[in-house]
């Protein structure tokens, strides 16, 4: 008879960590692309302000919503990793943050 050891993995922390890191990485990529596009628009139009302020406002909005989600999720990951009971009560706060940070149609 072959005995197979049963090993249980807690995948919640790595899954949430990958999610928040991808969110931050993709937000940074979008913001960099917006900044480059705004710079090209300013160079093509010849005006220092012009439509570039619109791209700056969009980038600011993206960074603020991503930072709100990232900070709350990193706190949750820290509480889960410390095996604190506060992590279970902090999970609904992260869920509400996801709702607030998501775009509305």
Rounded distance, CA 49 to CA 91, Å? 42
| One pLDDT digit (tens) per residue for the chain, 105 residues | 667 666 666 778 888 899 899 999 999 999 999 888 888 887 887 766 666 678 888 888 888 888 988 999 999 889 888 888 888 888 888 888 888 766 665
Contacts 24+ apart (CB under 8 A), 62-65: 62/27, 62/30, 62/31, 62/34, 63/27, 63/31, 65/100, 65/101
Tell me the two tokens of residue 8: 């249980």
Tell me the two tokens of residue 85: 């009971």
């Amino acid at each position: 008879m072959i005995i197979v050891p049963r090993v249980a993995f807690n995948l919640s922390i790595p899954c949430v960590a990958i999610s928040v890191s991808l969110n931050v990485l993709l937000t940074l990529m979008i913001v960099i692309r917006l900044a480059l596009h705004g710079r090209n628009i300013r160079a093509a139009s010849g005006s220092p302000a012009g439509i570039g302020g619109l791209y700056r406002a969009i980038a600011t909005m993206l960074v603020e919503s991503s930072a709100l989600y990232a900070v709350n999720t990193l706190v949750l990951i820290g509480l889960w990793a410390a095996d604190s009971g506060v992590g279970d009560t902090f999970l609904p706060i992260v869920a509400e943050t996801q709702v607030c940070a998501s775009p509305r149609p």
